[in-house]
Structure 1
Amino acid sequence: MAGEKGNVSLLGSLVLCLWLLCHESLAQTYLEQAPFRGAQRRLGDQSKCRLENLRAQDAHRRVESEAGVSEYWNNADQQFDCAGVAAVRHTIEPRGLLLPEFSNSPSLVYVVQGSGISGVVIPGCPETFHSFEQSQRRGRREDPHGEQSSREQHQKIRRFRQGDILALPAGVAHWWYNNGETPFIAVAIFDAANDANQLDRNPRRSFLAGRQQREGWQRERGAEEESSGGGNIFGGFDDEILSEALGVSREVVRKLKSENDKRGSIIRVERGLQLAAPRYEREAEREEQEDNGLEETLCNLRLDENIADPAKFDIYSRQGGHLTTLNSQKLPVLRLLRLSAERGHLRRNAIIAPLWHINAHSVIYAIRGTARVQISGAGQRPLFDGNLRRGQILVVPQGHAVVKQATEDEEFEWVAFKTNDNAMVSPLAGKTSVLRGIPIGVLSNSYRISEQEVRRIKFDRDDETLLLRARRASQ
């Protein structure tokens, strides 16, 4: 009997262990697949973050090229370093070409002004854009085997315009060209803390062409100086090996290395680019091109979305303004990047309800106007209390409440980049306020206020969601 009891006890222990292991495994799987996973990837460096003061920042470094300017924010600054992000703004003149490049971090690009075309080269995807050589005699040139010979083949070319968001996965080469008549301005946020970046928290842009200046982002203290200065990705290879690998002469190889090229990363195309690309007869046709989510291959995934189009507004208030969100449910490729965005507009004196981000940092770029912004800290003193004006960036850390109010003199527009593909917010005012979900008695006792005052807090803005029209509470 004692032996049987021992066997039963041992069997029970084994069953219990298996049960615990199973549940631990399921919990781990859930955590990996949950929408909060974007915050977990940054836990390793949170002990280094000591958020005490935040400030709205202008670009700290300006790099001039032949046909444009690149302006960098200091990513070693406390707020950028804790959020694990970096920012750059490109201004490209007409007929300006941003040379092909790629980064170790995924990024989102917002088109602030202008229009143009871009190419995103995804490895393994076919060259689906063709331009055939025309022959005066036979209509099309044929090779010795009788097959059509194409003059040009390349991957898909995308048009972009003001208000577009472009998603760029890590390590994917891309280029930009301004085929318009006015300067093109775009601001890009790089998520250096993303799982896709296997190096460190320093963003790196690698160029396929040109001779790059050493200027760029500010490196972390003690880190080596940016190594891209002085050449491009071909610069570290031997001429003979490249000549054999590419099947070209050494003279061509030396041109690929661009050792004497002083034009910078944005060059001027004197006669303009002649590319194989369709012409959109109607802009509406472009907007109708939708993807079907998981059934799409990476080659066919839509990489861009316009969030300035009034038809895309998620929240609209005639007195307050409008707000548009862009997440992976609307643009599935964002699941790969684990990034999302929003674009908002506040009328004079209007307010974005105080809120905090549940699962993401928010990087705000001011497009137009000025707003007063407050970010709450752990104590009574705010992390930030000041103005955010056009061209500046401010980082709102995860879990810190923020409120924005447009000034009396002008309206305010912004775009925010968020470090989760489905960023979630919890408002403190309006129809979706967290306070509305808490019983009156709990709030009354928590704040030591009357039930009548609690009802006013919960229901006074009952007809508004996030965008709060300007008004002054009666004393």
Structure 2
Amino acid sequence: MAYSSLLYLSICLLVLFHGCRAQLEQVTGRSQRPQQQRFQTECRINNLNAQEPAQRFEAEAGLTEYWSPNDEQFRCAGVDLVRHTIQRRGLLLPSFSNAPTLIYVVQGRGLHGAAIPGCAETFQSESSSQFRGDQGSQRRGRDLHQKVRQIREGDILAVPAGIAHWIYNDGESQLILVELHDTSNQANQLDENARRFYLAGNPRGQRRRESWQGSRSRSQSRSRSQRQEERERSPQSGSNMFNGFDEEFLAESFNIDNELAMRIQNRDDQRGRIVLVEDELRVLSPQSRGEEREERGWDRDNGVEETFCTLRLKHNVADPQRTDVYNERGGRITSLNSLNLPILRYIQLSAERGVLYRNALVAPLYNMNCHSVIYVIRGNARLQVVGENGQNVFDGEVREGQALTVPQNFAVIKKAGNQGFEWVAFKTNDNAKTNPLAGRFSVMRALPEDVLINAYRIDREEARRLKYNRDETTLFSSESFGWQRRN
């Protein structure tokens, strides 16, 4: 009898697990294959440049900046990069994209909501006292909505393609976000352009400021038809999706009157994509203990409880306690992949957050299975990037607010400046792998001495110095070389 009960329980758990997994694959578009194949893009990288945003769109309560989608390095990586600056009480209106997205919170705090299709409104209330942002004894009617997450500096948010989401700044300072759209992901069935579909607002109402860099002569030579095509492909060239429907259809669909149907089309709205919320945004929010447990990583996933409707979409990579690589004189690196945020397995993206102390060094290394898009959070550093045949494609300084792409297998070395260096790197694989060229776990350490002697025409002592003079792993301090100290 006991054996039969145990067998029945095991079968039930197996069915439940596969059912949850099937739901997860339905919302993310992830198939049973071990890894998605990315769209192939042409990479003709002869020269890289640290890039700043090329277009600026001012809204009522913030600013949205876009890096040039035509830049060769972003086209090679198959990504699109955007930065939002949201003022206090600013609301980034609901929208969704044709490509999976990673969002890094550079500064501030706020609320994030994602509307996952087919899921119930698990946040419910009958009174105003449970609403975040409610004041006094004002009463409200019943409200139901999906989960709202608190976000803060250092959080990374994962948003699958087609999932509508919104962000609100409930802090006292600006909320700054950098988001990467993986347009080469197989979840994107359109083209290589990141397309944003707005559920509210009128992006045409935003004030546009252009600052295309390093391409003035090239832009002057473009034909009128090419410039028109670029304007049509501009990330803010349209209105919200309801604007394209007839108001009578909308009124019938929502069972509302025509006047309200016309209002949700936002045709005369000049506020842009980031709007100012009067008073405070009132949403349902439980006590903060659950959020605290998630942020500190006290909960563990067993593959059953993280179902389609309870996806964990965020993870903090700025917490020093979550550091994966640490050198007390060099800095620290925290990796985010599908092992500590399982949804990344389905959107095929990962990230890395690094802090490099003054004049410290990251070992020369290369990404084995992905492109890496580096965004500078603070400080400055000198980077060198080397491609095939030993060609140096970048040698220069990167500073706060700039972005640089390091293509797959291109070797990169980072040396922090006097102010130190902090960065976040978005990677186009859910389990990104790097291979260092120097240090304790490097390629050089793994090669036999005689191979080094004959490859470089050096003697045995020089080969041993080449292999063993760096006992550190990835992060190197700025101290003198070990062989000089010993001599």
Return the TM-score normalized by structure 2.
Answer: 0.83
Instruction: Give the corresponding residue for 2:353.
Output: 343
Q: Distance in 2 between matches of 1:158 and 1:427?
A: 37
> For residues 238-284 of structure 1, what are the alpha-carbon distances to aligned partners after superposition, in whole Å with 9 as ceiling and x for unaligned?
11111111101110011010000000000000111111111315864
Cα offset for 1:134? 7.5
The verdict on how the C-alpha distance between 1:160 and 1:220 changes in structure 2, with shifts beyond 3 A counting, is farther
Moved over 4 A (4+): 214-224
- Does 1:267 pair with 2:267? no
Q: Distance in 2 between matches of 1:151 and 1:328?
A: 37
> What amino acid sits opposite 1:305 in the alignment?
H
Instruction: Give the corresponding residue for 2:255.
Output: 247
> What amino acid sits opposite 1:370 in the alignment?
N
Instruction: Give the corresponding residue for 1:3.
Output: none
Q: Is the 8 A contact 2:325 2:334 kept in 1?
A: yes
Q: Is the 8 A contact 1:305 1:331 kept in 2?
A: yes
Q: Is the 8 A contact 1:372 1:388 kept in 2?
A: yes
Instruction: Give the corresponding residue for 2:449.
Output: 440
Q: Is the 8 A contact 2:128 2:141 kept in 1?
A: no
1:168 to 141, 145, 159: 159
Deviates further, 320-329 or 275-284: 275-284
Q: Is the 8 A contact 2:361 2:475 kept in 1?
A: yes
Instruction: Give the corresponding residue for 2:469.
Output: 460
Q: Is the 8 A contact 1:76 1:220 kept in 2?
A: no
> For residues 419-439 of structure 1, what are the alpha-carbon distances to aligned partners after superposition, in whole Å with 9 as ceiling and x for unaligned?
000000000011110111111
1:209 to 194, 200, 203: 200
Instruction: Give the corresponding residue for 1:371.
Output: 381
2:191 to 175, 186, 200: 200
Instruction: Give the corresponding residue for 1:41.
Output: 38
Deviates further, 212-221 or 153-162: 212-221
Q: Distance in 2 between matches of 1:283 and 1:251?
A: 40
> What amino acid sits opposite 2:421 in the alignment?
F
> What amino acid sits opposite 2:112 in the alignment?
S
> For residues 128-173 of structure 1, what are the alpha-carbon distances to aligned partners after superposition, in whole Å with 9 as ceiling and x for unaligned?
00110489xxxxxxxxxxxxx9710000000000000000100000
The verdict on how the C-alpha distance between 1:274 and 1:242 changes in structure 2, with shifts beyond 3 A counting, is same
- Structure 1 or 2, whichever has the larger Rg, is 1
Could you tell me which runs of 5 or more consecutive residues in structure 1 were left unpaired when the two chains were aligned: 1-31, 136-148
Return the TM-score normalized by structure 1.
Answer: 0.85
1:429 to 399, 417, 438: 438
Q: Is the 8 A contact 1:291 1:301 kept in 2?
A: no
Q: Is the 8 A contact 2:231 2:237 kept in 1?
A: no
Identical amino acids, percent of aligned pairs: 50
Instruction: Give the corresponding residue for 2:142.
Output: 151
Q: Distance in 2 between matches of 1:246 and 1:334?
A: 35
Q: Aligned pair count? A: 423
- Does 1:332 pair with 2:350? no
- Does 1:285 pair with 2:282? no
Instruction: Give the corresponding residue for 2:477.
Output: 469
Q: Distance in 1 between matches of 2:299 and 2:192?
A: 34
Could you tell me which runs of 5 or more consecutive residues in structure 2 were left unpaired when the two chains were aligned: 1-31, 130-139, 213-224
**1:76-155 pair list within 5 angstroms:** 76-133=70-127, 151-155=142-146
Q: Distance in 2 between matches of 1:402 and 1:452?
A: 27
Q: Distance in 2 between matches of 1:254 and 1:224?
A: 27
Residue 462 of structure 2 aligns to a residue whose secondary structure is: helix
The verdict on how the C-alpha distance between 1:314 and 1:91 changes in structure 2, with shifts beyond 3 A counting, is same
- Does 1:225 pair with 2:240? no
The verdict on how the C-alpha distance between 1:220 and 1:188 changes in structure 2, with shifts beyond 3 A counting, is farther
Cα offset for 1:472? 3.8
The verdict on how the C-alpha distance between 1:281 and 1:426 changes in structure 2, with shifts beyond 3 A counting, is closer
Q: Is the 8 A contact 2:293 2:299 kept in 1?
A: no
> What amino acid sits opposite 2:86 in the alignment?
I
Residue 450 of structure 2 aligns to a residue whose secondary structure is: helix
Q: Distance in 2 between matches of 1:447 and 1:299?
A: 57
Deviates further, 345-354 or 293-302: 293-302
Instruction: Give the corresponding residue for 1:383.
Output: 393
> For residues 405-432 of structure 1, what are the alpha-carbon distances to aligned partners after superposition, in whole Å with 9 as ceiling and x for unaligned?
001x211000000000000000001111
> What amino acid sits opposite 1:41 in the alignment?
R
Q: Distance in 1 between matches of 2:47 and 2:146?
A: 46
Deviates further, 216-225 or 123-132: 216-225
Q: Distance in 2 between matches of 1:199 and 1:112?
A: 30
